[in-house]
Amino acid sequence: MSIIQQIGTSPPRTGDVKRKSVKPDFFSDALDWKIYRAAKVPGPGAYDVVRAHRSLQTASGSRWGKCTPMTYLDRAQANAKDIPGPGEYQVDEAAKSLDFGRSGGRFNMSKTKSYLDWVVHTAKDNPAPNQYSLPNLNDPSRLGGGKFNQSRGKTDVEWTIYRAKQLPAPGEYGSGVLPGPSGGKFNTSKTKSELDWTVLRAAKTPGPGAYPINLSGDPLKGGKFNNGNPKSDVDWSIYRAKQCPGPGQYDLSRSMAYLSR
């Protein structure tokens, strides 16, 4: 049986017969995998539509509703019927309940104090300045003890002089006896100048005539310039393309033989 026949064949519809799974041992490329997976999926003609239709006809219970739902206008009218209109309120009875002759609460008719009234009311509770009882300050017996400070404080210059007197002078520090110098002497050599260093370096560098030159005329051995022609980017692209097989070089017969088992 070919792969086309496998795809077109519908699966068995009875539950007793089980479908045999065929798994190939080898697949050559991704195309074989796609063909193998497509063989596992039933086609459009493989579904039992008649059996599914019969199961829907034999179903019992619910049914489709045939009622007409209310529109937005109908629902607004239904809600408005439950709300009383302006003329349906009992205004007379409400006015009688507010009569002042009846028992119960009533509106407050008193006049509250203004800001100025509260200021006057608060000022009455505070004593005036001349109502405080002060002691006699002119009584000589009350002036006892203490006196004004008549001393003269130090100025900034005087404080500077005072602090300087507390510090010892440079000659008041006791210095120890230092030992005499021993060993060593001053360097009396003459160091090289920049010009002397330049002359020293030049003396150690060989001149142009100091290098040995081959005057015999014998050619130098070893090494040569590269005369090869390396591959360009296009040449490398052609070389890599030759390593890859073309579309017609795949062995489809071998993969089809595995799928037809």
CB 28 within 8 A of CB 250: yes
Q: Is 255 exposed, middle or buried (0-12, 13-18, 19+ CB in 10 A)?
A: buried
For the segment 30-46, what is each residue's pLDDT rounded down to a tens digit? 888 888 888 888 888 78
What does the pLDDT look like over 106-145, one tens digit per residue? Answer: 788 888 889 999 999 998 888 888 888 877 777 766 666 6
Write down the H helix ranges in 135-193: 156-165
* Cα 61 from chain centroid (whole Å): 56
Specify the pLDDT at position 208. 85
Closest CA to 32 of 256, 225, 260: 256
Q: What is the pTM of this model?
A: 0.17
Rg (CA), the chain: 62
d(CA 159, CA 153): 10
Torsion of CA 94, 98, 99, 100, to 10 degrees: 170
Q: Name the stretches of the chain with pLDDT < 50.
A: 1-8, 14-18
